[in-house]
Amino acid sequence: MPRQSELADLRITLGRDYATAEHLIPLFDRGFNTRYFIVDLGDGKVALIDIHQLHKIGDDITIDLTSYASNLDSVNPAVFLQTLHADPWGVFKYVGGLSDTAQNAIAATNLCTRKVGGGRVSDLSFHEDLGFVDHLELKSMGFVKKLHPVGDFVFQPDGTLALKASTPK
């Protein structure tokens, strides 16, 4: 299972060329299904792609950056507010060219900044094809890490993520 923290410095295929994606950040819905990916190609080049534009076979990742890829700053911030992600590196604090509105919308949906079950989300594990989140890793205030299946979590009416009452912390 690929982990969010491993989706950095990836060699990817873009058409017939190779490139390095500094970060690949899946955006997923409240059902933990991946909808989009943010691809950070460095030098201020950041794109939003649909899940169907990324193909993963083993460790090889191919991305179809066609006209469907969007410059991140041209994306309606509502897209970000409808999805969640985990950015353990704080990548978007340092991406140049993003408006404050886009940066704020992205920051608001970062699970790594939220308290959940006596800790914080520190990492995610995805299904092999990156199509959905399998597990969330919580790090307690005592720095103990514990992996929980996504079925252990529930979204509260106010949008916060919480462990189900029957789940041990």
> Residue 96: its pLDDT value, please?
65
Residues linked to residue 124 through DSSP beta bridges, in sequence order: 136
Between CA 104 and CA 47 the distance in angstroms is 17
Token pair in block for residue 118: 């006596």
43/72 same-domain check? yes
62 inside domain: yes
Whether 102 and 25 share a structural domain = yes
The count of domains in the chain is 2
Same structural domain, 73 and 142 = no
Looking at residue 79, its pLDDT comes to 81
- The answer to whether residues 105 and 123 belong to one domain is no
Within 13 Å, how many C-alpha atoms sit on residue 71's CB side?
8
Q: Are both 44 and 91 inside the same structural domain?
A: yes
pLDDT at 45: 74
Please name the residue that has the structure tokens 């950041």: 46
Domain check: are 147 and 66 in the same one? no
Assigned token pair, 168: 């041990």
Report if residue 168 sits inside a domain.
no
Are 90 and 117 part of one and the same domain? no
Same domain, 73 and 148: no
Q: Are residues 25 and 103 in the same domain?
A: yes
Section 40-68 average pLDDT: 73
Confirm whether 169 is domain-assigned: no
At 55 the pLDDT is 77
Does residue 66 carry a pLDDT above 70? no
96: CATH: 2.30.30.240
pLDDT tops 80 at residue 13: no
166 pLDDT more than 80: no
- Whether residue 60 is found in the same domain as residue 95: yes
CA-based R_g, the chain, Å: 16
Q: What are phi and psi of 113, to 5 degrees?
A: -100, 5
pLDDT in tens, 70-121: 667 777 878 888 888 888 777 777 666 677 887 888 888 888 888 887 788 9
Q: Are residues 97 and 159 in the same domain?
A: no
* Average pLDDT score over the chain: 81
Cβ neighbors of 28 (< 8 A, separation 6 or more) are 34, 35, 83, 84, 85, 132, 133
Res 67: pLDDT: 46
Domain boundary among 111, 135, 155: 111
80 lies in some domain: yes
Give 128 or 44, the one with higher predicted confidence.
128
Q: Which range scores top for mean pLDDT: 38-47, 108-117, 131-140?
A: 131-140
Task: Tell me the residue range of the domain where 14 lies.
Answer: 4-111
pLDDT of residue 169: 60
Give residue 133's pLDDT band: very low, low, confident or very high (50, 70, 90): very high
Rounded to whole angstroms, how far apart are CA atoms 5 and 16?
27
Q: Helix, strand, or coil here: 97?
A: coil
Q: Does residue 69 form part of some domain?
A: yes
Same domain, 20 and 98: yes
Does residue 69 carry a pLDDT above 70?
Answer: no
